[in-house]
Structures are given as C-alpha cells and as structure tokens.
Amino acid sequence: MKPLTEREIRSAFVNCTKGEATRMNIPRDLAERPWDDLDFFGWRDPQAPDRAYLVAEIDGRLQGVALRSSHAGSWQNRRSMCSLCVTTHTGGVSLMVAPKAGKAGKQGNSVGAYMCSDLACSLYVRGKKDAGMGGRLHETLTTEEKVERTLANVATFVAKVTA
Ligand SMILES: [Zn+2]
C-alpha cells in the first residue's frame, strides 16, 4: 500500500468519534514502516495494549477501524487461526472487537473477529514474519493469491463494521 501520513490515518476512522481519532496513539515511525509489504496498516496502541487499529484502502477509500482486544482468555495458549490472513499461531491470535459505525455502534453493537495479535498479517502472508512452528498451513496458493484473500477478508470485516 502507499505510505500513509498521520493525518490520513486519523481521518480514516469509521467507528470512533473525531475526538477519539485525534487522541489515538499512532506509531511515530510511520516513515520506516514496510509499506511495500503491507496490505493494510495495523498496530496496537503502545500505551493501551487492549486497543488496536487497522487502516486499509477499500474500493479506493481509506477506512480505519478501532478495535479492542478482549482480555486474556482460554484461547491465549491454544493454536488459533487469524480470520484475515489464515495464519495459525499458538497464543498469537486475539479476538478483536470493533464497535459498529454510527447509530448501531452507539447502541452497543459490535463485530468481532480473530486476528493476528500484532496485526502483522501482511508480513506473515509474505513469509517476512514467522508465526512459529506450523504457522502456515500448507497451501497451494501463491503469495499474490494469499494477499488477495487477506485483502478480501479485511474488506468483508470493514463492511460488517460499517453495515
Ligand atoms: Zn493475520
């Protein structure tokens, strides 16, 4: 994806208030991120570890989703699979919950999905980050096809948040 600026990131969020988007902690090293290898930009809030964010360009529009990871649960030490990039980790997948956009979110509706806890799906798909033993299922898909699948899964998730 093309490199994002802090301003682009803050204005992309679909499911939080302007105030929240202004206050959220965005990584300071944006210039050093491996943008060429990213299908979406995801990060954990370094000051609030239960908060995570992802920003993706979907249908030519930048869309950001604020997420909460649920607290440590029984799945933390089990092998589980990221629903975005289909990588399996032991203890490296979190249930992320996003308040829905608009009125539905204010009424407390949310959408949940299992995701790589570090949101580095793009790097796992490309083999640039190792998910540990048995991290990847043997698949006959090419990296390009896996990237496409990840992007489609992200778009589906974001569509559920904005639905
Ligand atoms: Zn993933």
Residue 76 predicted with pLDDT over 70: no
Q: What average pLDDT does the segment 4-26 reach?
A: 96
Counted residue by residue, the chain has a size of 163
15: CA distance to ligand 1 center in Å? Answer: 21
Ligand 1 centre to CA of 105 (Å) is 24
Give the distance (Å) from ligand 1 centre to CA of residue 74.
Answer: 19
pLDDT at 163 over 80: yes
CB 85 within 8 A of CB 150: yes
CA of 11 to the centre of ligand 1 (A): 24
Q: How far is the CA of 104 from the centre of ligand 1 (A)?
A: 26
- Residue 71: predicted pLDDT: 59
Q: How far is the CA of 6 from the centre of ligand 1 (A)?
A: 23
Question: For 93-142, how does the pLDDT look when each residue is reduced to its tens digit (9 = 90+)?
Answer: 999 999 999 999 999 999 999 999 999 999 999 999 988 766 566 788 99
Identify which has the larger pLDDT, 92 or 57. Answer: 57
68 pLDDT more than 70: yes
- Decide: pTM greater than 0.85: yes
- E-strand spans in 59-108? 61-69, 79-81, 88-90, 93-99
Please choose, from the candidates 81, 78, 75, the residue with its C-alpha nearest in 3D space to the C-alpha of residue 135: 81
pLDDT at 84: 97
